[in-house]
Amino acid sequence: VKAPRSGILAVLLLVCTERSGFGMCHPKPACRYPPSQWCRSLEIAIECRVEKQCMEVNATRSNQAVPGVSVTLYYESLCPDCREFITQQLFPTWTMLQDIMAVTLVPYGNAKELRSANSPFTCQHGESECRGNMIEACILNLTEHSLAFHIIYCMESSADVLSAAQSCLQLYAPSVPWSRVDSCVKGDLGYQLMRANALMTRALNPAHTHVPWITFNGEYTEENEDKAMLSLFQLVCHLYKGVKPPACTGAPVRLDRSFC
C-alpha cells in the first residue's frame, strides 16, 4: 500500500527542514527504498532514518480521521449549577481542547411551553430566565459558534446575566448590533429557536431529570455526568480516541521562537 501523496510530501518537507536548515533542500537517498515507501513500515522508516517524521505525519493523519468528542449541554441561563458548570468546567475545557471537542449549547432546560401568545414559555427561575434563554439562543443563531460561546461565557460569569448581555455582545461581536438580537428575542425567530430547543430537550432518551444535563457523543450516562462534574477536561481527554494532544498528556509544548 502506497502512502498518500500528501503524507510523502510532508515527510520530504520535514526531512528537508531538519537536515538542510532553511537553505535549498537537496535530499540524498538514505536507503534503498523510494520516498513513496518510506512510511510503509516501521522497519523501512528506521532504515531510511525518517521514523520521527513518519510518526508525526501519521499522528496528524489519524487525528484528522478521528472525530472529536461531541459535548451537548442542556441548561438554563439563570440556573446556578448551570452557570457554575459553564464557567468552571465547560468553557475552560473547550478553550484548551477545542481541537478535539465540539460543544453544542441548548438553552431551555426545565422550561415548559404554554398555549399563550403573550407568554409562550414558562421557566424554572421565572420570566427573566425565559428572556435569558432566548437571548442566548438568538446569539447562538446570529454569531459564529466560537464568538457565541465567548459571549455566553461572558454573560454567565457576570453578576447579572441579562444586564451583561449587550456589553458582552459588543465586546466579542462588535459587528453584530444589539438591535438584531433584540429583534430576534421579540420576534418570531426567537420563538422558533426556543421551540427547536424545546423539541431537542424533549427528545432526550433517557429524559432529562435535572440541569445541567450533559451528553457525550449523543449519549447520557450518570457515570460520565459524575466525571464531568469533577473534571470535564480529564473526561474529554479520556473519551477522545485519536492521538492525545499535548494538553492531555502533559507533554511540554514547543513554541516557535521569534525575535524583534
Q: What is the pLDDT of residue 245?
A: 85
Residue ranges of E strands in 59-185: 69-75, 101-107, 112-113, 121-122
Q: What is the DSSP letter of 88?
A: I
Q: What b/e readout covers 137-169, taking b as 16+ CB neighbours within 10 angstroms?
A: bbbbbbbeeebbbbbbbbbbbbeebeebbeebb
Predicted confidence (pLDDT) per residue in 59-73, tens digit: 555 456 789 999 999
**In this structure, what C-alpha cell is assigned to residue 116?**
399563550
Q: What is the pLDDT of residue 253?
A: 46
Q: State yes or no: pLDDT of 9 exceeds 60.
A: no
Q: What is the pLDDT of residue 21?
A: 47
Predicted confidence (pLDDT) per residue in 91-115, tens digit: 999 999 999 999 999 999 999 998 7
Which of 14-18, 74-78, 168-172 has the lowest average pLDDT?
14-18
Q: What is the pLDDT of residue 53?
A: 72
Share of the chain above pLDDT 90, in %: 64
Q: What is the pLDDT of residue 2?
A: 40
| Average pLDDT for 10-21 | 48
Q: What is the pLDDT of residue 29?
A: 47
Q: State yes or no: pLDDT of 257 exceeds 70.
A: no
- Give the separation between CA 103 and CA 49, rounded to whole angstroms: 41
Q: Which amino acid is at 14?
A: L
Predicted confidence (pLDDT) per residue in 32-61, tens digit: 777 766 766 667 777 788 777 766 666 555
Domains, the chain, with CATH or none? 30-61 (no CATH), 69-240 (3.40.30.10)
Q: What is the pLDDT of residue 48?
A: 81
Q: At what angle do helices 127-142 and 178-186 cross, to 10 degrees?
A: 120
The angle formed by the CA atoms of residues 164, 187 and 163, to the nearest 5 degrees, is: 10
Predicted confidence (pLDDT) per residue in 123-182, tens digit: 999 999 999 999 999 999 999 999 999 999 999 999 999 999 999 999 999 999 999 999
- Give the separation between CA 107 and CA 130, rounded to whole angstroms: 9
Q: 104 with 70: CB under 8 angstroms?
A: yes
Largest CA distance in the chain: 79
| Average pLDDT for 226-253 | 87
Describe the strand order of the beta sheet including 213-216 as a list of residue ranges.
101-107, 69-75, 213-216
List residues bridging with 74 in a β-sheet. Answer: 106, 213
For residue 89, with 0-12 CB atoms within 10 Å meaning exposed, 13-18 middle and 19 or more buried, which class applies?
Answer: buried
Average pLDDT, the chain: 84
